[in-house]
Amino acid sequence: MKKAMRFILEIAKLIIIALLVVIPVRYFLFQPFLVRGISMEPTFQNNDYLIVERISYRFRTPQRGEVVVFKRPMSNEFHIKRIAGLPGETIEIKIKDQGIIIFSNKKDYLLPPLRFPGNFRIFLEQDEYFLLGDNRLLSIDSRNWGGLPRENIVGRVFIRALPFTIIDTWIEDIEKIQL
């Protein structure tokens, strides 16, 4: 009887210690995210399993080119997109023969042709970001719903955990990313 009681206490201790480690990590440091849809192809595929780190944005602001997970305004669903415009910038999309050019205060980006009628211009407030899906033709993003408030950003993609064939970290060199 004493052996059984000791065994139960050891199991209880193990469970408590595990919870004391897992809960803070899950709710304050990292969050799992399952990609749904094709708006981030070719970077991420439908059903890719990602780990999102939540801590760095407590110490610094999100940067252009980073892939973030967020909640869209008036929605409880999580989404994934790439930051293309920063707070205080004016984003202007103009349709040209060779594609679409995004003009911001800092840099211009040439994008492939989009299903977006006419020209588009938006001024981002001091806490807003302009997000785009990597699959520009099929993504619903800031072109549709405007700037995203900073408070809606959950964190940035850190690791692609599944599928096992393409596990990699996602701390990228921002200068090498083609927005």
Provide the pLDDT confidence category of residue 71 given band limits of 50, 70 and 90: very high
Q: Give catalytic residue positions.
A: 39, 81
Round to whole Å and give the CA distance between 21 and 34.
Answer: 23
User: Per residue in 59-90, is it b (16+ CB within 10 Å) or e — as a string?
Assistant: eeebebbbbbbbbbeeeeeebbbbbbbbbebe
Place of tokens 């099929």: 138
Show the tokens assigned to 155.
């964190």
Tell me what percent of the residues of the chain surpass a pLDDT of 70.
73
**pTM score of the predicted model:** 0.74
Tell me the CATH number of domain 31-176, given options 2.30.110.10, 2.10.109.10, 3.40.50.620, 1.10.1060.10. 2.10.109.10
Lowest mean pLDDT, pick from 108-112, 128-132, 172-176: 172-176
Q: Residue 108: its pLDDT value, please?
A: 54
Apex CA 172: angle with CA 167 and CA 174, to 5°? 155
The DSSP bridge pattern shows strands 153-162 and 49-53 to be antiparallel
Q: Residue 161: its pLDDT value, please?
A: 79
Residue 99 pLDDT exceeds 60 = no
Q: Residue 114: its pLDDT value, please?
A: 52
